[in-house]
Chain A
Amino acid sequence: MLEAINLKKTFGDYDALKGLDLKVNPGDIYCLLGANGAGKTTTINLFLNFIHPTAGKAEVCGIDVTEQPLETKKLLAYIPEQVMLYGNLTALENLRYFAQLGGHDYTETEYKSFLDRCGLQSGAYIQRVHQFSKGMRQKVGVAIALAKQAKALLLDEPTSGLDPKASNEFSALLIQLKGDDASILMATHDLFRAKETGTRIGIMREGRMMQELGTDDVSHADIERIYLEHMHGDSSKYAA
């Protein structure tokens, strides 16, 4: 479970996050929507303890991330917008290294099966990854997350720049991961994908949560309409 409690973050005199409350339950795929600068990435970085909150706290499975960062990182997996790997290592070597960093070790066959589940062609397993396309790297990224057997997943615009087919494959993978009872938090710009894969949607603007929706309760058109209203409207009238 992922939980943000009145989470605030200030960079200098800029308020990036103005008191966020958020809860992602096991089995949920929570999609954070919002324009650039809405605070989506800041939220994810706070959960990862990459930056320290100005006020409030972020918890992973009930553990405060600033108090026990190494404990919470055992429970987390992270897929950034660009999965970056060691170019001079092969896909398998990268996967093994990151899995071992997460405290796991598997057999060669198991590593291959992770890559296989993520849809990477078997010919690419022993290729050095410096020539991989973004789609291929994202697949290795998911394999790393799978191998980590994480309780919570943080994804920061993982499908941006992927072609529709790759993006679709990625969504299918996410649904697989959710099946393992993980709590998934994903920042995205893709309204369509959010409705298709997400279970819940949160719309953010200027460091605030404007509205939360269940994806089953609304149509694609509704999501787009509500989103645009928030983006164009006066933000103060929705402020909590």
Chain B
Amino acid sequence: MLKLIISHETRQIMRTGALWSILILLIGAIIFASWSGGRSIERQVEGAEAAVTFENGLRDHMRKDTEKYAAQVEAEGGEYKFATVRHAPGSGPPQGTNAGAVGAETSKYVTLPPTGLAALSVGQSDIQLNYLPISLATTLDVTKNLELENPVNLATGSFDIAFVVIFLLPIFILAMSYDLLSSEKERGTLAMILAHPISVRELMASKIISRAAVMLAVVLGFGLIALITVGTGLGTADTWMRFALWILATLLYLAFWFALAVLVNVYGKNSASNGTVLAGIWLILVVITPQLVSMLATTIYPTPSRMELTIAAREAQTEAEKNFMSKLDEYYYDHLEFVPEGDEKAMDFLTLAQANNNSIEKAVRPLYDNFQNQLNKQEALVQRFQYLSPAIMMQLALNEVSGTSADRYEYFLSQVYVFHEEWKEYFSTKFLQRYPLKPADYGSFPEFHYQEQPFGLVIARLVPSLLGMLILFLGVMLVPFLALRNYQVASR
């Protein structure tokens, strides 16, 4: 019996012209979103590659200079020396022998590789640079590239598949289902059907199953197409496990919207009022609530503006310099080229600059820590309030699955901080020892390798959102399911 009604309903859906138009629009949106998401990730990857290539080129240039210099020393005899700041280009040891110069004037770019699904949910990855320069300079360089904005607020900005799933798929579902029962009632066919041996529950279930099948085909089909066209790492198990979780989250989200349509149909009046009520709920859950939660997060835990951070850093720098320099020293510090020949002061100043950087870092570090803390608190608040709207749960889930969550970024940053220390340690030690860098040393510079979050952690972070959506779905479904038992077809 179910099969019969399902095939009938499917035929009805297929013969509804308006649904075809919406379906075509939806497919168009999915294709555009795939392209746009893919483009966004591609840009990030290209940007990272360009930066890495550029900096590697600089270092390569320095290495070649040291090779030339080494050959010269070999031929002419003499000592392989360390370049002072006042070296004359073309003669004497090149700058590349000075660890301080190499460590400070070239950067090592560390990159956060996108997961295979990143293009499907760009999330916050377009505001958090996935490649950061690491040099002897302060951690300022690490964080100054961060957009100081609420992540949830910005997360809704990109037109990616996640946007289509969260915003547009519910509209499509509601367009198919807002009049599930009411249209049959209004047409008069409900009485015709229910005069046959079939219960309202069976009828409702068949209607949902046939519509869900259409949605499933669209989501699975186009999700897969999107993954294959703009996803990466298709050969890895990681990508496919993430994709399975992505589908699971999407199904739970869609199930909620179907359940909502059923609920409104059981208690609602006519199709027009059902449509209005459902559109209102969509607006509240998908547009207004996430905005409110975002506003709440930024109001309760405001982050300092970028301007404040920059000014604070400048003040710290001025303060640090004031403490240990005379007016003349200050002048020489700024104009190393005027330091009298043979005066070792130039080297002292470079050492000072190192010390200076460290003290500035110490001074501004609390500010950045505070900034990061506020961001974490915002994130925690959003996590806590996500249960107010399935759209928030879904966004968090999709970001988590796609590896574009704030959490994965922080995981990356923590490794970056460690690497930064490693880099500083390597170059400043060699610099302070006046150790001349040799061509072979260029191969032993510290390297950054991002350690991916363990998959268990991703799942653990997904559980609250997925569970929240499941409970919401069951709750919304249960009410009409029970009510339909005593559904009265006719009223007075």
Residues of B within 8 A of A (CB): 1, 4-5, 8, 11-12, 15-16, 187-189, 191-199, 486, 488-492
Contact = CB atoms under 8 A, between A and B. Distances in A.
A16 interface: yes
B195 A48 contact: yes
B203 to A, nearest CB: 10
A84 B189 contact: yes
B492 A14 contact: yes
B490 A45 contact: yes
A98 B192 contact: yes
Interface centre among B15, B189, B192 (most CB of A within 10 A): B192
Contact of B191 (A76, A78, A88): A78
Contacts of B195: 48, 73, 76-78, 154
A89 to B, nearest CB: 8
A80 B488 contact: no
B191 A80 contact: yes
A97 interface: yes
A86 B189 contact: yes
Contact of B489 (A50, A98, A103): A50
Nearest to A9: B492
A70 B198 contact: yes
6 closest residue pairs by CB, A with B: A84-B188, A78-B195, A50-B489, A101-B196, A50-B490, A11-B492
Contacts of B189: 84-86
A73 B192 contact: no
B198 A101 contact: yes
A82 interface: yes
Contacts of B196: 73, 98, 101-102, 148
Given A69-B199, A77-B195, A88-B16, 12 more contacts: A42-B492, A45-B490, A48-B195, A50-B191, A50-B488, A51-B489, A76-B195, A85-B189, A87-B187, A89-B15, A97-B8, A101-B1
B4 A100 contact: yes
A100 B1 CA distance: 8
Contacts of A69: 199
A77 B196 CA distance: 8
A14 B492 CA distance: 10
A74 interface: yes
A87 B11 CA distance: 12
A76 B197 CA distance: 9
A73 B192 CA distance: 11
A83 interface: yes
B8 to A, nearest CB: 5
A106 B99 CA distance: 91
Contact of A83 (B192, B197, B490): B192
A94 to B, nearest CB: 9
11 contacts: A11-B491, A11-B492, A50-B490, A71-B197, A73-B195, A77-B195, A82-B188, A83-B192, A85-B189, A88-B12, A102-B197
A74 B488 contact: no
A87 to B, nearest CB: 8
Interface residues of A, number: 36
B488 A52 contact: yes
Given A86-B12, A88-B12, A16 B492 contact: yes
Nearest to A154: B195
Contacts of B12: 86, 88
Contact of A70 (B11, B16, B193, B199): B199
A41 B489 CA distance: 13
A50 B196 CA distance: 11
A51 B194 CA distance: 12
Nearest to B488: A51
A88 B488 contact: no
A87 B188 CA distance: 11
Contacts of A76: 195
Contacts of B193: 98, 101
Contacts of A74: 197
Interface string A172-211: 0000000000000000000000000000000000000000
Nearest to A78: B195
Contacts of A14: 492
Interface string A107-123: 00000000000000000
B296 to A, nearest CB: 45
A93 to B, nearest CB: 8
Contacts of A42: 492
Nearest to B195: A78
Interface centre among B8, B16, B187 (most CB of A within 10 A): B8
Contacts of A86: 12, 187, 189
Contacts of B15: 88-89
A80 to B, nearest CB: 6
A98 B489 CA distance: 18
A94 B182 CA distance: 20
Contacts of A83: 192
A89 B194 CA distance: 19
A78 B189 CA distance: 12
A11 to B, nearest CB: 4
A74 B194 CA distance: 11
A222 to B, nearest CB: 33
B78 to A, nearest CB: 96
Contacts of B198: 70, 73, 101
A26 B387 CA distance: 60
Contacts of A84: 187-189, 191-192
A37 B1 CA distance: 36
A80 B490 contact: no
Contacts of A154: 195
A78 B192 contact: yes
A238 B288 CA distance: 64
Contact of B197 (A16, A51, A80, A103): A103
Interface in A34-56: 41-42, 45, 48, 50-52
A152 B197 CA distance: 14
